[in-house]
Structure 1
Amino acid sequence: MNKLWTVTLQTYWHQVKSWSFLLLILGPFFIIGCSALGGAIGANSDSDSQIAVISSNKQVRQNFIKNNDKYVDSKIKTTDSAKKAVKKEKIDGYLVFETQKNQVKAVYHGASPIDDELKPKVKSYLQVLQSQLNLQQAQLAPRQIKALQQQPKYREVLQKNHQGDKLVKMVSLIIVIMVVYMVLLSYSSITAQEIASEKGTKIMEIIFSSTTAAKYFLGKILGIFGVIITQLVIYIVGGWATYRWALHAKITASFMHDNQVIINKILGNLVNINLIFLILGVIIYTILAAFSGALVAKPEDSSKAAQSTTMLSLIAFFLSSAFISNPEQILPQVLSYVPFFSSFMMPIRIINGHVGNVEVILSLAILIVSIIGLLIYISKIYQGVILQTDDTSFWKRLKRGLAYS
């Protein structure tokens, strides 16, 4: 047992301390960071695009600036200074508030139209000012003023299957399929090359003289499984930290607040039973990739070792993409119970809400039994496969390996 854990830890540290693992971990966070930086730069550039507000009524000017300070350069107070600032391109334009014949007016002067976000705010503010002026001119009694200030009420009653649910399902499905495929692709290649690099070396014969091939193979798989779990834990912790940061960061807070219900539902579809299907799917593909790596003729062919596993995962990926909108057809239903395909198909059915707990448990049970059975069988024939060094065809090596006992 000690030798099993020795192989496990050696494999684990060999992968974790590599540059490829570091890049694999940092890649998504780098992309998110670049996106956030781009958003920050965009926000800063937007904040630099300002106008001046001019009015003979100081209260009118100050109230508008107070509610729209990010759009306004409050230092400019006169028309002449505003014109000079526009010429020097320090501001985009200037807005003049005035009252003529009991009518409130706002005139914008600039080389380009006023900002699309600011324009409705100006119109809304004008409406408030005009309403206040109308009340002053009408000289109404307090009871009449109170009646005019009565506000309408608005509320929404949404059906269970509204458009937001469709968006949540579609985004969740795309993320699940892409994450499963990318993780499988990465670790299939890593595992196949890890095993293939040992092909034909004398050290394998020495290792097998001190421990069994089954323990060595199991140690390799457990080591790579540890790397997978490490990566997922880092992604979950880092993703949660990023989520909490986005809730309070200035450049993302408004977006997160407006779409928090949808975002929470998407996250709920990712961190649930679908995560277990992802992990089990990676494990079964990792075992197959290890077997493929052991079947190559020589270490130089390690780059080709993962081709069979990659092709199988590619087929599963395209099939799941094809049935993403129609997961209850007969083919995706059947494939949701088939190992190597269920990690793609069953999450699609779960997210669409067309599958019961019994079906999910049955699919999981089949997948777990398949992993255990495949692991036991390959560990028994592993020595005969890994020690083959003759440069024969792939099928001959496969036939000889399967016949080994």
Structure 2
Amino acid sequence: MTHTGLSPLAWLADVERDRRAAGLRRALRTRPPVGTELDLASNDYLGLSQHPAVLDGGIAALRTWGAGAGGSRLVTGNTELHEEFETALAAFVGSESALVFSSGYTANIGAVVALTGPGALLVSDAMTHASLVDACRLSRSRVVVTPHRDVAAVEAALAERTEERAVVVTESVFSTDGALAPLRKLREVCRRHGALLIVDEAHGLGVRGSGGQGLVQELGLAGDPDIVVTTTLSKALGSQGGAVLGPAAVRAHLIDTARTFIFDTGLTPAAVGAALAALQVLIAEPQRAHAVLTHATELAHICGSPEQPDSAVVSVILGDPEVAVGAAAACLDRGIRVGCFRPPTVPAGTSRLRLTARASLSDDEMASARRVLSEVLAAARA
């Protein structure tokens, strides 16, 4: 067969047409520096991305260390500020050590790939974040995907393994539905079968636990030698970057082997300075974590859910992707920005609005949310 004259990207037109027909076409939406809409879509759970102390922390780091890290952390990109933040974050969550990466995505890939590999079994919850899914694919381990929050399935996979090593990965707070992972039960299963548990606290840090120390800390598992925690600095801490927390031996191993650490430019100092300042604000104002859950409960009731959310995430399932997209657009037309999750982010038939609570929401903003969401959801469900 000859392909002369055929563009190697011609297939993209067919893919785009099919995605548009299925209501799955995505588009970037540019926002101004000061938004006029009420934001119920971002992951700025504690409202710290615009906090004066956090901005000052980023600016001070920028002026001291420059705009970029200048290289990987193994070359020139490791600063005193990076290590100061790692020490502070590890102490806050009750971990022996921490290692900062350029994003939560690279932290997850770095940790999972470096701690698994050929000859290992990797067990992953079906609803884990895309970064963990990609980490499983890159690990070269045998991967078993278990049903959402199904501890019995995890135990069955571990019991049947022939591999010498095994790792279980989960989010502490699942990003799409806001549900909590059964961490205590998973830890018990892992301990019975000699498996390592990796927990992504991206949506737990700053929201769950005493003063926002995370779900691992809340359940009394902080510092457990059989648990490695990953997190992001871009949600509750309002900055950018990621981190892996755990035993000092894990930190040392990642420095030697994690490709997303070794070959990636170090996290920009301004982001580190902002994250450190945000952490200091959270320590000084632990009530912010409680405020997030209080506002999440109110948002859930507004959306017709009688249940109290376990996290900042309020998931409103509408089913059809076009209905969900239309509802999100209707909210935006009325001055409220909400998230909209469709396949492949969520399973087919579960397209949804994803609302996120924020500690800094005012009474007037909650009243606006009540008025708009009640109208839009009534129309979407009609």
Larger proportion of strand? 2
Asked whether the two chains share a fold, i.e. TM above 0.5, the reply is no
Which band: TM-score by shorter chain?
Answer: under 0.3
Task: State the structure with more CA Rg.
Answer: 1
When normalised by structure 1's length, the TM-score is 0.21
Larger proportion of helix? 1
With CA pairs under 8 Å and 6+ residues apart, which has the higher RCO, 1 or 2? 2
